[in-house]
Structure 1
Amino acid sequence: MRLLFLGDVVGRSGRDGVSDRLPGLIERYRFDFVIVNGENASHGKGLTEPHFTDIKAAGADVVTLGDHAFDQRDTLSYIAREPTLIRPINFPPGTPGRGANLIEGRNGHRVLVINAQGRVFMHPVDDPFRAVEAAIAACPLGEQADAIVVDFHTEATSEIQAMGHFLDGRASLVVGTHTHIPTADHRILKHGTALMADAGMCGDFDSVIGVETDEPLNRFLTGIAQGRFTPAEGEATLCGVAIETDPKTGLTTRVLPVRIGGVLAQALPEF
């Protein structure tokens, strides 16, 4: 199967980029399943229900979250009834929503999507490694799941790479989100798991990680906040990773970076 993962959607620019480009990508490259990280889609923090609906309408089968999962208050009211909206699995017990779910794609493929949050330079959460391992043990690759994708939302690329090696041979793709900067380390590990330390963002890169430059620059220069961070609204680059998996094992046979539109060098997922 062919699977597309798009990194953090940031503000209106990212939402518009996904709405404008994702349907054509699905048609052109015949993607069987699409995952989009939407945790910054609404005004740069969190995900409102209308914006979740827009991302789904563009073609996302699943939308994942991260440390800003509940920054928009209405997420608390709708996440429990949305099986395709996934928040970090290692949030405390009793947190609304789910951290993993087995979702059937457009061609009948069953994909286990897991979202986890890292602990390096992040707010305290439970152990992501054991939480992810337990979810995979309950729904193994090649048995209940035709593919398994782990969106690991964390600051440290070392933590993401460690998760990839920890799950090598047990997941189709381990990909990092949160830093908004696409890395160039996409590869297939020894036992068939694809790894990319950060998918990047879907947003305006003429910015500071998706935010208009004035306020971040002011804070770096003075250490004093003078206003809010405002998402940049220029043309978005859609960043992510595409994989092709073995239909028998669910392990990855090809992994390709995705960068489309905006100011970054382009990378089309030519299979």
Structure 2
Amino acid sequence: MRVIFIGDVMGEIGQTMLTTYLPKLKSKYRPQLTIVNGENIASGKGITRPLYKLILQAGADVVTMGNHTFDKQEIFEFIDEAKKLVRPANYPAATTPGQGYTLVKINQVVVGVINLQGRVFINPIDDPFAKADELVKQLQDKCDLIFVDFHAETTSEKLAMAWYLDGRVAAVIGTHTHVQTNDARILPKGTAYLTDAGMTGPYNEILGMNKDRVIEKFRTNLPVRFETPKSGPGQLNGCYFELDEKTGRARKLQPFSINPDRPFLE
């Protein structure tokens, strides 16, 4: 099973990078499943119905989210009917709309896509490790492969989740911190791991936000309104991996980056 994952799409530049390069990446890698994190696509925070559709039209099969899932009020109008949209599964089940996982069938292979959110240095919700146990147990007889987007702040929490799930899921890919890490590997029991896939959005800014505003915040420690630029050079980050449909384990993991310093190569 060939899979592409695209890291946090941010703002209008991220939208342009996604619609421009995802079709080219799909032509190059020929993935059978494409997953895109879309929690920042609406001006850096949240998602709207038109932007959810834009991600699908660009070529995604599943859209994962994160801590900004509910930042746009509009999401409450469509999240329950958006069957390809997955918000963090460890939001309180009794009070949170939407779904924490989805199943995708490709030919005769069923892939479970789970979204979880960390609790360290981020708005705490339910225990992601307990929820991971619950969902893996629930899905293991229904799925040939399980993919986890773990949206978390710290490397240690992401590593802990990967080692905890090693051998039980095919891949644990981190999102949220917006800088692609150089630690892609396949763990001993067969789980592909990357601390952060990186972001898709502005290139000459700071984590997708206007760099002058961020610098001002650090220099003055006064309230500053962060903004996502609408023009300028962009970047797209993500990874490609190959999963063994019979064993449910990973065989290959390859991060990729597209930006002015690393142009796309056919």
Normalising by the smaller structure, the TM-score range is over 0.9
1:24 aligns to what SS in structure 2? helix
Runs (5+) with no aligned partner, structure 1: none
- Summarize deviations over 1:47-85 as a string: whole Å, max 9, x none: 111011000001100001100001111111101001110
Runs (5+) with no aligned partner, structure 2: none
Match of residue 203, structure 1, among 201, 206, 218: 201
State how far apart, in whole Å, the 2-side matches of 1:267 and 1:16 are. 15
What is the match of residue 233 of structure 1?
A: 231
State how far apart, in whole Å, the 1-side matches of 2:161 and 2:225 are. 37
Query: Residue type matched to 1:34 in 2?
Result: T
Match of residue 142, structure 2, among 118, 141, 144: 144
User: Is 2:114 the counterpart of 1:101?
Assistant: no
What is the match of residue 217 of structure 1?
A: 215
8 Å CA contact 1:257–1:267 kept in 2: the answer is no
What is the Cα deviation at residue 232 of structure 1? 5.5
1:229 aligns to what SS in structure 2? coil
Query: Which runs of 4 or more aligned residues in structure 1 lie more than 3 Å from their structure 2 counterparts after TM superposition?
Result: 265-268
User: Is 2:9 the counterpart of 1:4?
Assistant: no
1:2-41 matches, within 5 Å, as: 2-41=2-41
State how far apart, in whole Å, the 2-side matches of 1:69 and 1:82 are. 13
Q: Relative to 1, partners in 2 of residues 1:245 and 1:60: Cα closer, same or farther, differing over 3 Å?
A: same
What is the Cα deviation at residue 144 of structure 1? 2.2
What is the match of residue 121 of structure 1?
A: 121
Alpha carbon RMSD of aligned pairs, Å? 1.6
How many residue pairs get aligned? The number is 265
What is the match of residue 177 of structure 1?
A: 175
1:201 aligns to what SS in structure 2? coil
8 Å CA contact 2:9–2:199 kept in 1: the answer is yes
What is the Cα deviation at residue 109 of structure 1? 3.2
What is the Cα deviation at residue 92 of structure 1? 1.5
Q: Relative to 1, partners in 2 of residues 1:129 and 1:217: Cα closer, same or farther, differing over 3 Å?
A: same
8 Å CA contact 1:218–1:225 kept in 2: the answer is no
User: Is 2:77 the counterpart of 1:77?
Assistant: yes
What is the Cα deviation at residue 146 of structure 1? 2.5
Identical-pair percentage = 43
Query: Residue type matched to 1:230 in 2?
Result: T
